[in-house]
Amino acid sequence: MTEPLTRRQQEIYDYLLSNVDSFPHPPTLDELCSALGLSSKGSLHKQIQALIDAGLVEPMNNRRRGIRLTNEARNEEEQGLPFLGYIAAGSPIEAIEQKEIIQVPDYLRTNRPCYVLQVKGESMIDEGILDGDQIVIEQRDHARNGEIVVALVEGTDATLKRIEQKKDCIILHPANSTMKPMTFATDQVQIQGVLVGQMRRYH
């Protein structure tokens, strides 16, 4: 996919993914308009064409009626991302590995390997990262200064912080005015990944 999906295109794509098995046959434009509460079939057609161009929906023709997801789009959704447990947004705690797959919208991930963690703590609240949020992490062992990273401290405890790398130390900055930065020797901190997406459930 060369261009990121717009919010409306993502909404339509997510609906198709979530309800792919709910329709007795691939939905027509009229049926999809009705299901999504949209009034303009012409506008929806433009959004569907964008999904076709992105390789997520099969081209429509007179012989194959209805809007069908491509096999690639179906397979990507089925794969999901691994949920690897909990990450501290406070004092470091150990990340708990759990073998579970979580479905993540395409626009919240990158084309590199990613995984999902759930936030515990309030040290990143000024960045809008709250206790209970699920975050998408791009797996890599390096980061630019200022990026929010998963940092493994002394080989055991993982924490979520904004990183500052200096010649002789690494500073992990919280985003909470009541908390202070933590400073470590460079060999005490290993970068496990960089924050690229965030999900929240409202109860």
Please give the positions annotated as active site: 123, 161
127, 148 in Cβ contact below 8 A?
Answer: yes
The single-letter code of the amino acid at 201 is: R
Extended strands (E) in 57-200 = 81-88, 100-102, 114-120, 134-138, 148-153, 157-165, 170-173, 182-184, 189-199
Q: For 6, which DSSP code?
A: P
Cα–chain-centroid distance for residue 153? 24
194, 148 in Cβ contact below 8 A?
Answer: yes
44, 37 in Cβ contact below 8 A?
Answer: no
| φ and ψ of 179, to 5 deg | -120, 150
CA-to-CA distance for 90 and 74, rounded, in angstroms?
Answer: 37
- In three state form, how does the secondary structure of 81-107 look? EEEEEEEECCCCECCCCCCEEECCCHH
